[in-house]
């Protein structure tokens, strides 16, 4: 027997009995409690090697999670790809690296590195930056500048100085009469530069002024900037205002004609907009005014968008993901519908379809985006869950689609704020909306798959306490397994015995839809 399928991703909702500020455990969630007790269910892996990351100590994230969900396979991802390229030396043999180095030498310019400064291993890793700094000196470059984006999201919320000190120590060792490297600018990742899905181009514009023009509050060092701004506004790292490093009104390193710039983030979603700004600055770019348009050689760590071929130059080849679930369903003539609000819309589309921004079929695939509010997520933790739900229920009621998928970002986006109470509300908002989806699936006889892509809301407290005795907030993802439930499945639906991960979901979807000829590359289904 078969049924049409609705798949719900509760972003950032891990499932664990450990209570370290477990907002999932303590939320009022009658729907999830019913699903995890009365219907076929299990927990599945959503981090580490199960999603193509280097080790099982590496937290999963929405990018690799949706890649795995959408392709049914495990590909080397992100940090693992870059690690392999650095270890083999292939990164330095790439056209992009050689192009960046040669451009600097030919123009007597500077080499700039820009990216998230941490070892969070979600968007970047400081070890990659350090390796490239050493190689830059070895290849005879004289002037190197680093523009640092502070994390506080995939690592402890006020850990920035740990990474600044680590970088300053490396630069001190490298600096001599033939080489000079320095930090030139910085700011929090949720304030400048790292916007995604074109939700707030103003962030990128602020980054342009800070990094390119040296236009911003100036401090003698990155440490001085961070300490002063924390004292002024009590900011955690991800929300620290942008700053310029310099003395006597002279920036330490603006991005000028004849320079090269490498964006060393490997994750694509928060790298696309800056890449558009550099690659399109003289090709009709109109997202913000550019008082300065330097003639530079720009390269990304990876190609962040395979369909847009963005950026033109990149150091490491991304995984070439083939045999995706969407492609399989299009070839079967199955109509599908995907929806989320802006914050996770790209995950339901671009990442789901194997890092492609285009559909496999305009006729068979429908995508619908609900615009996210531009507001701190803990100020409105319900986000756009209701609006997403209304569209999903309408898609079910239409009877037009055999496969419907959506993402509720609340557990992840509110969880990243570190606000435990708000995150509980975020989880409860998703649970409340699940009731409407469950009722619609029951009424119209759809099978409903409910899961998450990684943990976050399940672990809101870090080690240690604040000065007032309150628990220290944890803003990063967790290593928790995630729930997987089949609601109203075909008669006799059962969960197999086994240790499954996100990459097993694609085969599960197609089996419930009634197909038994899944690609040989896919992992097995979770249901019997």
Q: Where are the domains of the chain?
A: 5-77+321-513, 79-316
Check for a shared fold between 5-77+321-513 and 79-316: no
Looking at the domain 5-77+321-513, which fold is it?
Alkaline Phosphatase, subunit A (3.40.720)
Judge whether 257 and 295 are in contact, CB under 8 Å: yes
Which residue in this structure is represented by tokens 């009469």? 177
Instruction: Say which range, 55-59, 73-77, 519-523, has the weakest mean pLDDT.
Output: 55-59
Question: Is pLDDT at 467 greater than 80 in this prediction?
Answer: yes
Tens-place pLDDT, residues 15-25:
999 999 999 99
Q: By three-state DSSP, how is residue 222 classified?
A: helix
Q: Are 371 and 341 in contact (CB under 8 A)?
A: yes
The pLDDT mean for the chain works out to 96
The CA radius of gyration of the chain, in Å to the nearest whole number, is: 23
Q: Give the Cα separation of 326 and 5 in Å (integer).
A: 13
Cβ atoms 118, 194 nearer than 8 A: no
How long is the chain? 528
> How does pLDDT run across 336-382, given as a tens digit for each residue?
999 999 999 999 999 999 989 899 999 999 999 999 999 999 999 99
Please state the φ and ψ torsions of residue 69, each to the nearest 5 degrees: -60, -40
Tell me the percentage of the chain whose pLDDT exceeds 90: 90
> According to the model, what pLDDT value does residue 476 have?
84
Higher per-residue pLDDT: 26 or 467: 26
What CA–CA distances, in Å, run from 355 to 322, 358, 385? Answer: 10, 9, 25
Contact status, residue 507 vs residue 316, Cβ threshold 8 Å: no
Q: Given pLDDT bands bounded at 50, 70 and 90, which one contains residue 306?
A: low
Q: How far apart are CA 64 and CA 159, in angstroms?
A: 25
* 62 classed as catalytic: yes
Residue 57 has pLDDT above 90, yes or no: no
Structure tokens at 204: 């990128």
pLDDT, tens digit, 9 for 90 and up, residues 469-489: 999 999 889 999 999 999 999
Return the H-helix or E-strand segment holding 205.
Answer: helix 201-207
Q: What is the CATH number of domain 79-316?
A: 3.40.1450.10
Summarised one tens digit per residue, pLDDT across range 106-124 is 999 999 999 999 999 989 9
**Residues 124-177: pLDDT tens digits?**
999 999 999 999 999 999 999 999 999 999 999 999 999 999 999 999 999 999
pLDDT score recorded for residue 417: 93
Is 511 strand, coil or helix?
helix
Model pTM above 0.85: no
Under a CB-based contact definition with an 8 Å cutoff, are residues 67 and 45 in contact? no
* Among 314, 295, 316, residue whose Cα is nearest residue 110: 295
CA pair distance 248, 232, nearest whole angstrom: 22
Closest CA to 213 of 267, 182, 259: 259
Specify the DSSP element, H or E, that contains 487: strand 482-487
Q: Is the pLDDT of residue 307 over 60?
A: no
Please check the confidence at residue 442 and state whether its pLDDT lies above 70. Answer: yes
Q: How far apart are CA 461 and CA 476, in angstroms?
A: 10
Per-residue HEC secondary structure of 44-92 comes to EECCHHHHCCCCCCCCCCHHHHHHHHHHCCCCCCHHHHHHHHHHHCHHH
Adjacent-strand bridge partners of 487: 448
Q: The tokens of 285 are what? A: 């770019």
Q: 80, exposed or middle or buried, with CB in 10 Å at 0-12, 13-18, 19+?
A: buried
- Secondary structure of residue 488 in the 3-state scheme: coil
Catalytic, out of 37, 47, 55, 62: 62
185, β-bridge pairs: 147, 244
**Complete DSSP assignment for 124-159:** --HHHHHHHHHHHHHTT--EEEEEEEE-SSSS-TT-
């Amino acid at each position: 027997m078969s049924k049409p399928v609705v798949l719900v991703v509760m972003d950032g909702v891990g499932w664990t009995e450990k209570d370290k500020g477990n907002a999932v455990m303590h939320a009022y969630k009658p729907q999830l409690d019913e699903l995890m007790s009365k219907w076929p269910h299990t927990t599945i892996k959503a981090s580490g090697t199960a999603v193509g990351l280097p080790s099982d100590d590496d937290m999963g994230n929405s990018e690799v999670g949706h890649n795995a969900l959408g392709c049914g396979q495990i590909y080397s991802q992100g940090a693992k790809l870059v690690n392999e390229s650095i270890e083999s030396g292939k990164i330095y043999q790439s056209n992009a690296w050689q192009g960046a180095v040669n451009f600097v030498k030919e123009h007597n310019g500077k080499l700039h590195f820009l990216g998230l400064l941490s070892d969070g291993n979600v968007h970047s890793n400081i070890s990659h930056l350090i390796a490239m700094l050493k190689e830059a000196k070895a290849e005879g470059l004289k002037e190197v500048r680093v523009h640092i984006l502070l994390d506080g999201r995939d690592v402890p919320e006020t850990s920035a100085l740990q990474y600044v000190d680590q970088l300053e120590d490396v630069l001190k060792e490298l600096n001599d009469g033939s080489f000079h490297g320095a930090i030139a600018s910085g700011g929090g990742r949720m304030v400048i530069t790292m916007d995604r899905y074109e939700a707030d181009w103003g962030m990128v514009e602020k980054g342009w002024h800070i990094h390119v023009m040296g236009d911003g509050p100036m401090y003698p060092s990155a440490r001085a900037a961070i300490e002063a701004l924390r004292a002024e506004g009590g900011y955690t790292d991800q929300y620290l205002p942008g700053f310029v490093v310099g003395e006597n009104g002279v920036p330490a390193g603006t991005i000028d004609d004849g320079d090269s710039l490498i964006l060393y983030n490997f994750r694509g979603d928060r790298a696309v907009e800056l890449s558009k700004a550099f690659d399109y600055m003289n090709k009709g770019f109109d997202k913000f005014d550019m008082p300065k348009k330097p003639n530079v050689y720009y390269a990304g760590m990876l190609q962040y968008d395979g369909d847009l071929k963005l950026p033109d130059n990149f150091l490491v080849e991304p995984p070439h993901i083939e045999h995706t679930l969407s492609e399989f369903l299009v070839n079967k003539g199955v109509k599908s519908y995907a929806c989320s609000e802006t914050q996770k819309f790209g995950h339901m589309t671009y990442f789901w379809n194997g890092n492609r921004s285009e559909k496999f079929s305009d006729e068979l695939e429908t995508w619908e985006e609900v615009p996210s509010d531009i507001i701190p997520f803990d100020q409105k933790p319900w986000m756009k869950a209701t609006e997403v739900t209304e569209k999903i229920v309408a898609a079910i009621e239409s009877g037009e689609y055999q496969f419907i998928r959506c993402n509720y970002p609340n557990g992840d986006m509110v969880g990243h704020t570190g606000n435990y109470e708000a995150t509980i509300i975020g989880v409860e908002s998703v649970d409340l909306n699940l009731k409407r989806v469950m009722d619609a699936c029951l009424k119209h006889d759809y099978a409903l798959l409910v899961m998450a892509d990684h943990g976050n809301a399940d672990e809101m407290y870090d080690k240690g306490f604040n000065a007032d005795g309150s628990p220290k907030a944890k803003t990063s993802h967790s290593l928790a397994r995630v729930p997987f439930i089949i609601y109203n499945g075909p008669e006799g639906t059962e969960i197999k015995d086994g240790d499954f991960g996100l990459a097993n979901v694609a085969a599960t979807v197609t089996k419930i839809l009634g197909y038994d000829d899944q690609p040989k590359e896919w992992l097995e289904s979770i249901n019997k």
